[in-house]
Structure 1
Amino acid sequence: MRNEKGSLIRPVPLPDSASRPVVTPLSTSVVYASDTPDMLDQQYEGGLQGYTYSREGHPNADVVGGLIDRMEGAPNPGVVTSSGMAAVAAVLMGITQTGDHVIGGNQLYGRSLRLMAEDLPRMGVSTSMVDPGDVDAVRAAIRPTTKLILVETVSNPTLRVADIEGLATLCREKGVLLVVDNTFTTPRAFKPFDWGADIVIHSITKLLAGHSDVMLGYVAARDEAINTRLRIFSVTTGMTPSPWDSWMAERGMLSFDLRFDRAQATAMRLAEHLGGLEGVKRVIYPSRDDHPDQARAQALLKGQFCNMVSFELDGGRAEANAFTRGAEGLNFAPTLGDVGTTISHPASSSHRALTPEKRTELGMSEGFFRVSVGLEDPDTLCAVFSQAIAACKV
């Protein structure tokens, strides 16, 4: 019977089509309608596949998660979160409890360090920071209450390489979870699950999405029960990824392999160039003969070393200011993974919460910079760095 007072607000379903879209549709709906309460029960209980409320999952996040699952060889479907730090928090806060102990690499990203140093202890979870390249030191730090060890494959920003193989063996022996943040290396260079990791984390924001217009994270666990726990925690705490960001990330990831290979090749070239410039105290890149972990990097990464280069200027804050002013055309910004090269200064950004003494201990002076190499012409990029470093002497 026709409603004489007019149609309902949303009465018309999407039209049927014998063909399908080539590009994944953007699904901005917050809610999804089911036919009956019985159907909704079946969706929640797993009998039917379907969406209910976007905080609990939506198509665009599942597409992005599925892409990374395949890249990483994840044993279970990963969880896409609202940021890389949300993924870190889902692990550190979602699977620990009062009385647990957590070990972290002593050169983790600054916010990961802060979460471990300030927030976990507040909740009754004790923490220790250890060199992840020294398995004996990690072994000595393990307690009966140790729940997990969090490391980065290649550390941010000092580019030290964790002994993933040794740590995986130790964790199996001790019944401790090995959590690997694979953001810098990406699955193109390294697949932690293949080397014994229990949980893998990504900041999709960085190289995977690659255009500085997305904020997302990812986490997946080998054990199905832990994977489910991570998903429930992220849903409960509202770590919901944006459909728009997920849609944009998928688009960025379609060119990921090409972008990574080009940026990595240029990074190797830039590291060599910086090593020959007057005014540069040291250059850090895992393939270099003077890198302390070069042999381990070769064994783990098999010739794929990432697009990150770090270096230290002769001098301090004055020279750092002169360098950034002289780096014409490059963005000085606390981020990485853009199509354009960006330079960051850990002492004034990612690791500013550390004392100067602690930064010095970790090798991050006022003259220390991290470079996220982009897709520029290598000759042009090297010329810009030569000009900027020369400006430090004026």
Structure 2
Amino acid sequence: MKPTLQRPVTVPPSLSTPVITPLMPSVVYASTTPDELDSQYEGRAQGYTYAREGHPNADVLARRIDALEGCEGGMVLGSGMAAVAAVLLGLTKAGDHVVGGDQLYGRSLRMLTEDLPRLGIATTMAQVTDAASVAAALRPETKMVLIEVVSNPTLRLADLDGIAALCREKGVLLVVDNTFTTPATVKPFEHGADIVLHSVTKLLAGHSDVTLGWIGATDPDLMARMRIFAVTTGMTPSPFDCWLAERGLHTFALRQTRAQDTARRLADHLAGQAGIAKVLYPTRPDHPDMARAQGLLQGQGGNMVSFVLDGGRAEANAFAEAANGVAFAPTLGDVGTTLSHPASSSHRALTPEGRAALGITEGFFRVSVGLEDPDALIACFDAGFAAAGSA
């Protein structure tokens, strides 16, 4: 039999179409002619060339997240921190200044306080619960303000509308990390954000089996600059991760609703327990930003609960060990509830004094509530509290 060439691959024709998005792991895509390749690179035709510059599974996922956030042309990247880096490094240069919230995710804080200054980009941390604090931090060379709607892990609410108005007045870009809150709770573009980013790894994908990020912008020119930086530095997402994340999005609304209902119930239960110094949940009447949560979050509290045990590391160890039905893991947004201890994980790089200034003690825990039976979850926490009380 005469040998035949096998490439480029030809997909068999079919009158029917797949019900789910096919997984397309190809790294390279064949074009017919140099003119055809020019047309794709110059934007006259839609197509793919090399997966670092884009691939079908990433684009399918990006369009789905675009629809949730209310924008067009967003981009999926290899992680949430890749999204943060694409924004901060793709849009600033030496001599610029960036203002960040003082309670950002730990790695975002590190990038602002250590990496950007090393590159000649000055930074200032501000208390974003008050727009006046952000205003005081602005300089003539300020290019952007980076905030989270709800802080990690103290669950304080940013003055999103006040900061957005300030940024518009001063001509400064407002960047919002919407990972914690998700577009099911708040859509930052509707409040004046210029750029929104996500760690898709968390609630959007929801199963702790992908590592992805997403960025979107209102200005196509800004999006193009971030895209060029991301492609140049190889922030490529895995097609398989994109495929898994798209699967997770199909149940996102159901998961978010169930987890939020349980989180609210767990927070109320925790507030009545001996040995608990403080419970933080945005819609509780004792939360310092409860009034803002009613408006900005439309009365939703989300799936995150934080609390402070009386005592120190010994009590924290006893609690985590005894609450063994809950994974002690530094993540959030999974279908299973996870327990995080910021002093030994996300905020371990801060000094004890720095953590204390944020209210993060050795007894501070953050809970990402999942889909378990609420009664079983509460019983697990009660076992942990009993052990902590005996420590």
TM-score (norm 2): 0.99
CA contact (8 A) 1:320 1:366 kept: yes
CA contact (8 A) 2:260 2:302 kept: yes
Partner of 2:84: 88
Which residue of structure 2 lines up, in the alignment, with residue 68 of structure 1?
65
Residue from 133, 154, 158 that aligns with 1:158: 154
Q: Secondary structure at the match of 2:245?
A: helix
Q: 3-state SS of the aligned residue for 1:18?
A: coil
CA shift in 2, pair 1:269/1:43, >3 Å:
same
Amino acid at match of 1:328: N
Within 2, Cα distance between the matches of 1:13 and 1:289? Answer: 62
Instruction: Using the TM superposition, give the Cα deviation of residue 9 of structure 1 relative to its aligned residue in structure 2, in angstroms.
Output: 3.6
Deviations 1:37-76 (A, max 9, x none): 00000001111100110000001001110110000001x3
Specify which of 2, 5, 9 is matched with residue 8 of structure 1.
5
**What letter matches 2:315 in structure 1?**
E
Change (3 A) 1:54 1:313: same
Change (3 A) 1:11 1:235: closer
Residues 204, 216 of structure 1: 8 Å contact kept: yes
User: Is 1:184 aligned with 2:180?
Assistant: yes
The equivalent residue for 1:20 is: 17
Cα distance 1:97–1:393, how it changes in 2: closer, same or farther (>3 A)?
Answer: same
Deviations 1:258-279 (A, max 9, x none): 0000000000000000000001
* Residue 157 of structure 1: how far off its partner (Å): 0.7
- SS of 1:188 mapped into structure 2: coil
C-alpha contact 1:263 1:374 (8 A) present in aligned 2:
yes
Provide the rounded CA distance (Å) in 2 between the counterparts of 1:12 and 1:62: 21
1:287 pairs, out of 263, 278, 283, with 283
Distance 2:30 2:370 in 1: 44
Please tell me whether residue 78 in structure 1 is matched to residue 68 in structure 2: no
5+ residue gaps, structure 2: none
For residues 33 and 255 of structure 1, do their structure 2 counterparts lie closer, same or farther at Cα, with a shift above 3 Å needed? same
In structure 2, the partner of 1:327 is 323
User: d(CA) in 2 for partners of 1:367 and 1:260?
Assistant: 27
Q: 2:90 & 2:385 partners in 1: Cα distance? A: 45
- Residue 244 of structure 1 and its aligned partner are, at CA, apart by 0.4
CA deviation vs aligned residue, 1:73-116 (integer Å, no higher than 9, x gap):
01x31110000000001011110000000000000000000000
Q: What is the SS of the residue equivalent to 1:321? A: helix
- The letter for the 2-side match of 1:248 is L
Q: 8 Å contact 2:8–2:30 — kept in the other structure? A: no
Asked if 1:301 is matched to 2:325, the reply is: no
Of 110, 123, 127 in structure 2, the residue corresponding to residue 127 of structure 1 is 123
Out of 356, 373, 386, which is 1:360 matched to? 356
> Is 1:143 matched with 2:134?
no
The C-alpha deviation readout for 1:334-372, integer Å capped at 9, x for no partner, is: 101110000000000001000010000001000000000
Measure how far apart 1:12 and its partner are: 5.1
The alpha-carbon deviation at position 5 of structure 1 amounts to 5.7
Question: Paired residue for 2:314?
Answer: 318
Distance 2:264 2:281 in 1: 8
Residue identity in the other structure for 2:370? G
Letter in 2 for 1:253: L
- Name the stretch that deviates more: 377-386 or 238-247: 377-386
> Structure 1, residues 275-325: CA drift from partner, whole Å, max 9, x if none?
000011000000011111111111101022210000000000000000000
SS of 1:104's partner is strand
- 1:34 pairs with one of 19, 31, 38: 31
- The amino acid across from 1:59 in the alignment is P
Amino acid at match of 1:26: L
**Identical aligned residues as a percent:** 67
TM-score (norm 1): 0.98
Deviation of residue 11 (structure 1)? 5.7
Match in the other structure for 2:43: 46
Query: Is 1:57 aligned to residue 54 of structure 2?
Result: yes
SS for the counterpart of 1:320 is helix
Once residues 11 and 325 of structure 1 are traced to their aligned partners in structure 2, the CA distance between those partners, rounded to angstroms, is 55
- Structure 2: which amino acid aligns with 1:348? S
- Distance in 2 separating the partners of 1:305 and 1:199: 23
1:347 is aligned to: 343
How far apart in 2 are the matches of 1:63 and 1:305? 30
Distance (Å, rounded) in 1 between the aligned partners of 2:208 and 2:366: 17
How far apart, in 2, do the equivalents of 1:11 and 1:324 lie?
54
Whole-Å Cα distance in 1 between the matches of residues 193 and 11 of structure 2?
Answer: 43
C-alpha separation between the residues in 1 aligned to 2:313 and 2:298?
37
Q: Is the 8 A contact 1:79 1:230 kept in 2?
A: no
Equivalent pair of 1:104/1:150 in contact (CA under 8 Å): yes
Aligned-residue offset at 1:328:
2.2
Q: Secondary structure at the match of 2:184?
A: helix
4+ residue runs over 3 A deviation: none
Write the distance in 1 (CA, Å) between the matches of 2:338 and 2:377. Answer: 11
